[in-house]
Copies of this chain bind each other. A is one copy, B any other.
Amino acid sequence: MPVPTTDGHRSEQPLRVAIVGYSFMGTIHAQAWTTAPRFFDLGRGVDLVAVSGRDADAARTFADRFGIADVEADWRALLTRGDIDVIDICTPGHLHAEIAIAALDAGIHVLCEKPLANTLEEAERMDAASERAAARGVHAMVGFSYRRTPALAFARRLVTDGRLGTIRHIRAQYLQDWIADPTFPLVWRLDADQAGSGALGDLGAHIIDLARFVTGQELTGVSALTSTFVTERPLPTSSSGLSATAGDDPEDREAAEPLTGRVTVDDAVVFIARTDGGALATFEATRFATGRKNAMRLEVDGSDGSLVFDFERMNELQFHDHTLPAEEAGFRRILVTEPGHPYADAWWPAGHGLGYEHTFVHEVADLARDLAAGRAPEPGFADGLRVQRVLTAVSASADAGAAWIPLDH
């Protein structure tokens, strides 16, 4: 049954969505898809038609939880049902390319979790597929959900409005600590075959995209260092695999014969960069910053003003207006919950605050509105590819001992 739009008008054509993956990302996407039409006018309702995943029981539980009618053991079945408008890919990275390309080629819109792919080659093929599809009115979006944080969308607006002047500095960090304990198990995110990279792709991809999103500038080269602080970890047990933080795909739950396994991704990465706007940038992504839980932090300094953001205080943006008299200037804490702020008027009165979940509601609402309007959603696979090029350059630099790797764009 299609969920009606906020104006009470039942569209004959709800947006029919299938989700691939039912873990952390699948859950939050499903919640977002059901919430979005209640708070945003999407032009039509949303119908969560099916979920796909290898473990039929887990998928069925998930389907029941979110009122999804069908479970498909093989995602390929989604392509031929004929009743799917959007495939929402919430799997580990190694599956992104195959699913996304097949879906786009089948004429189905795609929302794909980030990072776009595990390799540059995959990302390039995905981008090519999205271009082919776009020519037919079929669109692809990459899930850089943090762009939909009201404070960050507002940050971009301030930059676009010229409030920062010429940008001089970008300081971007994504700090977590969930694997600082060396006894934390070897979940799929620590396996290069599935995850592609570690902190780099998981966390670094977000801040690379955000630096681009907020400043509108591209990196022109990088010099990077990575470290894997803990190289051997216990293999996951079924219970450890159920951690909300880690993946809980059935692959993780196999009986662990060897006691430990080798971590094949980076635990942390730091890099410096220049931008095409003449700014100097520093980036850091780590899962070993004890005390930091989800500290996605961004600072941008311009000739006329500066911005500070930390996702651990996601409803706040700090803005320094350097054009004010010096005696009155200072970083002001803006609660980005006013009706005039991005996304905010759909929600509660000022100051009441949104959570992590709502960035996904905004993401799928934007996607649905774009599709309804026949617009290409942003960020598209070209953005995902651009980020992938940076990730690849960072890896190459780290492999070459912090050598400078230029980036064309």
Contact = CB atoms under 8 A, between A and B. Distances in A.
Interface string A257-290: 0000000000011111110001011101010111
Interface string A305-342: 11000011111100111100111111111110111110
A350 interface: yes
Contact of A358 (B64, B168, B269, B355): B355
Contacts of A320: 290-291, 332
Number of copies: 4
21 contacts: A8-B61, A31-B35, A31-B38, A169-B286, A169-B288, A223-B223, A227-B278, A229-B278, A245-B350, A280-B286, A290-B302, A290-B304, A290-B306, A292-B351, A294-B352, A312-B351, A319-B330, A326-B338, A331-B333, A354-B357, A355-B355
A306 B1 CA distance: 51
B270 A322 contact: no
A17 interface: no
Contacts of A154: 327
A94 interface: no
A284 B358 CA distance: 31
A250 interface: no
Residue from A291, A301, A326 whose CB has the most chain B CB atoms within 10 Å? A291
Contact of A327 (B292, B333, B338): B338
A332 B335 contact: no
A171 interface: yes
A4 B68 CA distance: 11
Interface residue tally on A, bucketed by range: 35 or more
Contacts of A278: 227, 229
A329 B169 CA distance: 24
A351 B61 CA distance: 26
Contacts of A355: 315, 352-355, 357-358
B350 A293 contact: yes
Contact of A24 (B175, B271, B281, B348): B348
B289 A281 contact: no
Nearest to A6: B65
Given A244-B349, A303-B180, A8 B330 contact: no
Contacts of A340: 325-327
A331 B340 CA distance: 18
Given A221-B402, A223-B223, A354-B355, 10 more contacts: A8-B64, A178-B350, A225-B280, A290-B322, A291-B306, A291-B320, A292-B306, A293-B337, A312-B315, A347-B357
A262 to B, nearest CB: 18
